[in-house]
């Protein structure tokens, strides 16, 4: 395909309630969408970068700049561009995986819409429904946390993930485990909030029978994660540390993790995400699909990814209503037994609602 024009669309989606993690509080999702027009079809991508560089080095304004100034001139020069060619074409431009992922996603959506194929089919999905978990942010009080968990379990979610940080870890985990018993699939996510000095504290989480501890240490401290993994019985899962199939293999082989959270935006796109999945299947390491408070566009693509065979743990593929009163696509919902249907339509299988997009619009510009 030949890219004719690209539109950068920025929207602000108010959250139904503040979402607090160890690196801050979100009240509005500041989302960058990428719309690619070709002669055959249009495609949409979503950039998962946040407003500020707190989860990663990328941030929305920076992604807009690098797409506009560097990435689009390269891609627009190709007369026959496929999604599989986006990463190689941009490889000489270092970093900026979230921005690259948004472009690849948009090109892949257009390519698949033109061919009449779905994301799930293209990636190799084998399920028509995927099990869904929900990520519960840090709360002010334990009763408030338990009320939130009550609500999510009533909605059918099969797995609960608790965000933790120093001072909010053992007590909330103990409270949830005592309230709901050992049968609840429960895991925690630290978002790099701890250090090697906290090994003994993190070891105390072993008593709660957790599925995993996600990214407890700094993303660059693979050796520290390997030491921690040897000191505790709860499986260590890496998130921020895994940026490619190569880094996933290295982390697994050095013993830094025994579970991997795959976030397509973090690793440069859905095609690299599939490569990470394939490495983990080869090494017999379970994977699951993480979330970045995506709109319905990214949510639909994540559900398609989670339909691949190696995704044996429930992901953060929650309903649109978990975060947004109004999504920019038709809402994606979890059914009462905690599963979400994989979209089967061409491309992403969901469409942007133009009127809603206008209501939530912050800015839009055509490039190229």
8 A C-beta contact, residue 163 and residue 138: yes
Phi, psi of 302, rounded to the nearest 5 degrees: -65, -40
Residues 144-163: what's their mean pLDDT? 96
Task: Report CA 177 to chain centroid distance, whole Å.
Answer: 26
Q: Could you tell me which residues come within 8 angstroms of residue 53 by beta carbon, excluding any fewer than 6 positions away?
A: 59, 62
Residues 99-118: what's their mean pLDDT? 98
> In the chain, which segments carry CATH 3.20.20.120?
121-341
Provide the H-helix boundaries in the chain.
Answer: 60-66, 72-76, 86-90, 97-115, 119-123, 142-154, 170-180, 199-203, 222-231, 245-253, 264-267, 270-282, 296-305, 354-360
| Complete DSSP assignment for 143-163 | HHHHHHHHHHHHTT-SEEEEE
pLDDT of 166: 97
pLDDT over 90 at 1, yes or no: no
Task: Give pLDDT tens digits for 309-341.
Answer: 999 999 999 999 989 999 999 999 999 899 999
pLDDT over 90 at 18, yes or no: no
Task: Give pLDDT tens digits for 209-240.
Answer: 999 999 999 999 999 999 999 999 999 999 99
pLDDT over 80 at 23, yes or no: no
pLDDT of 209: 98
Q: Whole-angstrom Cα distance, residue 3 to residue 174?
A: 53
Band the pLDDT of 9: cuts 50, 70, 90: very high
Query: Which of 234, 195, 197, 236 has its CA nearest to residue 22?
Result: 195
| Complete DSSP assignment for 239-281 | STT--SHHHHHHHHHTTS-SEEEE-HHHHTSHHHHHHHHHHHH
User: Largest Cα–Cα distance of the chain, in whole Å?
Assistant: 60
Average pLDDT, the chain: 96
Packed helices 296-305 and 270-282: angle between N→C axes, nearest 10 degrees: 30
Q: Whole-angstrom Cα distance, residue 185 to residue 212?
A: 10
Q: How many CB atoms lie within 10 A of CB 204?
A: 13
pLDDT of 247: 97
Residue with token string 């579970």: 259
| Complete DSSP assignment for 106-132 | HHHHHHHHHHT-BHHHHHT---SEEEB
Q: Whole-angstrom Cα distance, residue 160 to residue 149?
A: 8
Domain 3-115+351-367 sits in CATH at: 3.30.390.10
Q: Which residues are catalytic?
A: 163, 263
> In the chain, which segments carry CATH 3.30.390.10?
3-115+351-367
Q: Whole-angstrom Cα distance, residue 327 to residue 237?
A: 30
Q: Whole-angstrom Cα distance, residue 125 to residue 117?
A: 12
pLDDT of 350: 97
| Beta bridge partner(s), residue 213 | 188, 236
Q: Whole-angstrom Cα distance, residue 331 to residue 350?
A: 9
Residues 239-251: what's their mean pLDDT? 97
Residues 67-77: what's their mean pLDDT? 96
pLDDT over 90 at 24, yes or no: no
Give exposure, 207-229, as e/b (b: 16+ Cβ within 10 Å).
Answer: ebebbbbbbbbbbebbebbbbbb
Band the pLDDT of 3: cuts 50, 70, 90: very high
Class of domain 121-341: alpha beta
Task: Give pLDDT tens digits for 133-142.
Answer: 999 999 999 9
pLDDT of 97: 98
Residues 3-25: what's their mean pLDDT? 91
pLDDT of 22: 80
Residues of the chain with pLDDT > 90: what percent? Answer: 96
């Amino acid at each position: 395909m030949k890219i004719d024009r690209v539109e950068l669309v920025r929207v602000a989606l108010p959250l139904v309630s503040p979402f607090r993690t160890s690196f801050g509080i979100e009240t509005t999702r500041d989302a960058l969408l990428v719309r690619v027009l070709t002669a055959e079809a249009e495609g949409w991508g979503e950039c998962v970068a946040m407003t500020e560089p707190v989860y990663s080095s990328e941030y929305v304004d920076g992604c807009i700049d690098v797409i506009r100034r560097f990435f689009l001139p390269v891609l627009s020069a190709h007369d026959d561009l496929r999604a599989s060619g986006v990463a190689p074409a941009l490889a000489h431009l270092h970093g900026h995986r979230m921005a690259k992922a948004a472009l690849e996603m948009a090109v892949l959506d257009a390519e698949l819409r033109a061919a009449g194929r779905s994301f799930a089919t293209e990636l190799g999905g084998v399920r028509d429904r995927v099990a869904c978990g929900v990520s519960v942010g840090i709360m002010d009080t334990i009763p408030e946390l338990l009320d939130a968990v009550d609500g999510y379990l009533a909605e059918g979610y099969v797995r609960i993930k608790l965000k933790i940080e120093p001072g909010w870890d053992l007590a909330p985990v103990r409270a949830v485990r005592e309230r709901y018993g050992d049968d609840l699939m429960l895991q925690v996510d630290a978002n790099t909030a701890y250090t090697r000095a906290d090994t003994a504290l993190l070891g105390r989480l072993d008593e709660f029978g957790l599925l995993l501890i996600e990214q407890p240490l700094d993303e660059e401290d693979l050796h520290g994660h390997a030491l921690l993994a040897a000191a505790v019985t709860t499986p260590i899962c890496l998130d921020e540390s895994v940026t490619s199939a190569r880094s996933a293999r290295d982390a697994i082989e050095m013993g830094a993790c025994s579970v991997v959270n795959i976030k397509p935006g973090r690793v440069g796109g859905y095609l690299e995400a599939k490569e990470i999945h394939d490495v983990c299947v080869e090494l017999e390491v379970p994977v699951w699909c993480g979330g970045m408070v995506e709109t319905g566009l990214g949510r639909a693509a994540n559900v398609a990814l989670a339909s691949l065979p190696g995704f044996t743990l429930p992901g953060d593929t929650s309903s649109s209503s978990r975060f947004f009163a109004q999504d920019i696509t038709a809402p994606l919902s979890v059914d009462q037994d905690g599963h979400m249907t994989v979209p089967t339509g061409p491309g992403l299988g969901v469409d942007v609602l133009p009127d809603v997009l206008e209501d939530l619009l912050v800015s839009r510009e055509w490039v190229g």
